[in-house]
Amino acid sequence: MTKNQQLAKALREIGFLTEVEGAANAQFKSRAYYRAADSIYSLSADVVELYKKDGLNALLKMPGIGKAISGKIEEFIETGCIHQLEDLKKQIPIDIHQMNSVEGIGPKTVKAIYNKLGVTDLAGLESVAKEGRLKTVPGISAKKEQEILKRIEFAKKREGRRIIGEAWPLAKGIESRLQKLEGVFAAALAGSARRMKETVGDLDFLVASDDGSAVMDFFTRMPEVEEVKSRGPAKAFVRLEGGIDADVLVVPEESWGSALLYFTGSKDHNVELRKIAIEKKLRLNEWGVFEAGTEKRVAGTNEEQVYRALGLQWIPPEMRENAGEIQAAAKNQIPDLIGYGSLRGDLQVHSNSTDGTATIEEMARAAKEFGLDYIALTDHTKSLAMAGGLDGDELLEQAGEIAELNDRLDGFRVLASAEVNIMKDGLLDIPNNVLDELDIVGAAIHSNFNLPKEEQTARLVRAARNPSVDIIFHPTGRLINRREGYPVDVEKLIETACETNTVLEIDAHYNRLDLKDEYVRLAVQKEAKLVIDSDAHHPVHFAFLQFGIGQARRGWAKSSDILNTLCAGELLKAIK
Ligand code: DGT
Ligand code: CA
Ligand code: CA
Ligand code: ZN
């Protein structure tokens, strides 16, 4: 972990433990810590450097960092730890990461379980649940005990795989340092991360250089390295801080393309390509493409060349899963995938009127800075009491505020909108005559996850048939590594979406990525309309859009499949 990441983690832990401790104002305080953690986590500069240059002032300039928290950051930079966190940890000696990884167990429950049963980690939780003792904790029913047991199973199954958005800053940071290293022709993050898979097992770096040992020295001595597991002349394998493994492979420049192809995978894609090579009397490996027998090199310096030697069009990394892409490439039918950076707007954005952390104007300005032309402001509605959801009058009042803001903003537009709750029966918690005053409306499920599949599907279908609903947000409700979505017939939902001109969302928050790749592909095949939204609750969250685009590309989506590649005017014409 970089210093920024360590600091963000410490702040997040204070936030979580403050909630567990549950003193007065705990929720308010812990939110402030989460917000500060977000700011630090997404900072591109090194916080220590900034602090060295400008002192406390540099910290106070960041969004979400006030006097109290800047003091803690200063303490962390000066001493390497935060006193308050150490105290909290002594008082509540739980494994924060593990206890926070099971969906449905919030800070209050963690505390109740700790007080009553002394449980501090996942293994402890599993054993008390299996023994039937968890339900003796106040607030935990026998049914909830069973649910928790299922969720522990889920958490264990995913153990070891990281959510891509969590590994991303670390991975891209290492990639860019490798690229700047002296004597390096090229360097790239390969493997599943380059394919934009929702989770990654380990990180794979490829470097083209004539000086393998210099790269080895650099790689094994990076500040993030916790343990060097192996080191050869051109290969190394390390464990990074935070427990994620990383591989590096060094090749000569002439092998860059074939090695990048090999190291990007997927394995199934590679195996298929090798078969094609053999049919063509060629030999393909990480060093290049060679004529079988004579060993004459025919390709290797770049990926395009390698694919061409096999009679194939270049295939974007996100498609390389041996799911029909090789057959498409042979026929010159690789779709023109939606490009990173081609979104013009973002249709799910939250403000501090509910559970967001910034004002509408701050979110709008951040979106503009990010390069967008418009956002839809989609605060939660009243039945989501936890998030302080808005009622009809408050939504209309907010729409008025937005109109005023639009007069002030130059070359940027905020659409009045809402993330309306779909109730158990498929009706909404805001009446249609209010919704029809808004520019665009998203609807989502936030409750009753346990309905049987048919009922859940009927609920979503009813919402999609509502003439006031333009978009269904995060349609399956999953949280990666935390909970499976609610059971739903996605194909039926897609068909209803097509029939009713309802848009389905690809929520780009890296915890969600919902719709996921395979459902995106199904939606694209059926010609449903899609949008990619960040679900931003903080000005820095617009950066999540790249993960949504990655997921869309994994689902073979073109720009024309994604409505928010249009300008605001065209978008509003295309919806219901
Ligand atoms: P991960 O790390 O589990 O998220 O998935 P990958 O795809 O990053 O897999 P990893 O790290 O084991 O290996 C990186 C790439 O190296 C993989 O995508 C393809 C290639 N590779 C690894 N093992 C084999 C193999 O046995 N045969 C072939 N043809 N390629 C392999
Ligand atoms: Ca990997
Ligand atoms: Ca690997
Ligand atoms: Zn929210």
* Nearest CA-CA partner of 443 in 424, 469, 461, 425: 469
- Ligand nearest the Cα of residue 352 is 4
Q: What does the CA dihedral 399, 405, 406, 409 come to, rounded to 10 degrees?
A: -160
Ligand 4 mean position, distance from CA 384 (Å) = 9
Contact (Cβ atoms closer than 8 angstroms) between residue 330 and residue 322: no
- Look up residue 17 and give its amino acid: L
Q: Average of pLDDT values for 41-67?
A: 88
> What pLDDT, on a 0 to 100 scale, did the predictor assign at position 102?
81
Q: Average of pLDDT values for 468-482?
A: 94
More confident residue, 12 or 28: 12
Q: Residue 1 has what DSSP assignment? A: -
Q: Average of pLDDT values for 16-32?
A: 86
- Ligand nearest the Cα of residue 236 is 3
From 267, 273, 283, 480, the mutation candidate for ligand 1 (largest count of ligand atoms within 8 A of CB) is 267
Phi/psi of residue 283, nearest 5 degrees: -125, 125
With cut-offs at 50, 70 and 90, classify the pLDDT of residue 254. very high
pLDDT digits (tens, 9 = 90+) for 227-247: 999 999 999 999 998 789 999
Q: Average of pLDDT values for 529-538?
A: 97
Tokens for 462? 């009813």
Q: Average of pLDDT values for 524-547?
A: 97
* Nearest CA-CA partner of 3 in 220, 190, 217, 222: 222
CB within 8 Å of 420: residues ≥ 6 apart: 381, 428, 429, 430, 435, 441, 442, 443, 444, 469
Give the containing element (helix H, strand E) for 485: none
374 three-class SS: strand
Nearest Cα residue to atom 23 of ligand 1: 267
Ligand 3 mean position, distance from CA 28 (Å) = 41
CA-266 nearest atom, ligand 1:
18
Rg (CA), the chain: 25
Contact (Cβ atoms closer than 8 angstroms) between residue 285 and residue 256: no
Nearest Cα residue to atom 24 of ligand 1: 267
Distance of alpha carbon 343 from alpha carbon 576, whole angstroms: 20
More confident residue, 125 or 156: 125
More confident residue, 576 or 158: 576
155 three-class SS: helix
> What pLDDT, on a 0 to 100 scale, did the predictor assign at position 355?
87
Alpha helices in 267-378 (DSSP H): 267-279, 303-309, 325-330, 360-370
pLDDT at position 157 over 70: no
Distance of alpha carbon 546 from alpha carbon 556, whole angstroms: 15
- Look up residue 94 and give its amino acid: I
pLDDT at position 572 over 80: yes
121 Rama sector, left if φ>0, alpha if ψ -120 to 50, beta otherwise: beta
Q: Ligand 1: list residues with CB < 6 Å.
A: 191-192, 200-202, 204, 262-263, 265-267, 270-271
Residue with structure tokens 């009706």? 427
Q: How far is CA 542 from CA 155, 194, 304, 386, in A?
A: 28, 20, 32, 23
Residue with structure tokens 């210093």? 3
Ligand 4 mean position, distance from CA 40 (Å) = 21
Tokens for 391? 């009622």
From 204, 268, 326, the mutation candidate for ligand 1 (largest count of ligand atoms within 8 A of CB) is 204
With cut-offs at 50, 70 and 90, classify the pLDDT of residue 190. very high
427 three-class SS: coil
> What pLDDT, on a 0 to 100 scale, did the predictor assign at position 158?
64
| Average pLDDT value for the chain | 94
Q: Average of pLDDT values for 198-220?
A: 97
- Look up residue 195 and give its amino acid: R
pLDDT at position 178 over 70: yes
Strand order in the sheet with 245-251: 184-189, 203-209, 245-251, 235-240, 225-231
pLDDT digits (tens, 9 = 90+) for 307-321: 999 999 999 999 999
Contact (Cβ atoms closer than 8 angstroms) between residue 530 and residue 552: yes
Q: What does the CA dihedral 230, 232, 236, 237 come to, rounded to 10 degrees?
A: -20
pLDDT at position 138 over 70: yes
> What pLDDT, on a 0 to 100 scale, did the predictor assign at position 159?
64
Note if the pTM is more than 0.85: no
Distance of alpha carbon 253 from alpha carbon 259, whole angstroms: 10
CB within 8 Å of 152: residues ≥ 6 apart: 102, 122, 125, 126, 129
Beta bridge partners of 349: 377, 536
> What pLDDT, on a 0 to 100 scale, did the predictor assign at position 419?
97
pLDDT digits (tens, 9 = 90+) for 376-421: 999 999 998 777 899 999 999 999 999 999 999 999 999 999 999 9
Alpha helices in 310-359 (DSSP H): 325-330
Q: Which residues of 142-168 are buried (b: 16+ CB within 10 A; e: fewer)?
A: eebbebbeebbebbeeeeebbbbbbbb
Contact (Cβ atoms closer than 8 angstroms) between residue 316 and residue 323: no
Give the containing element (helix H, strand E) for 251: strand 245-251
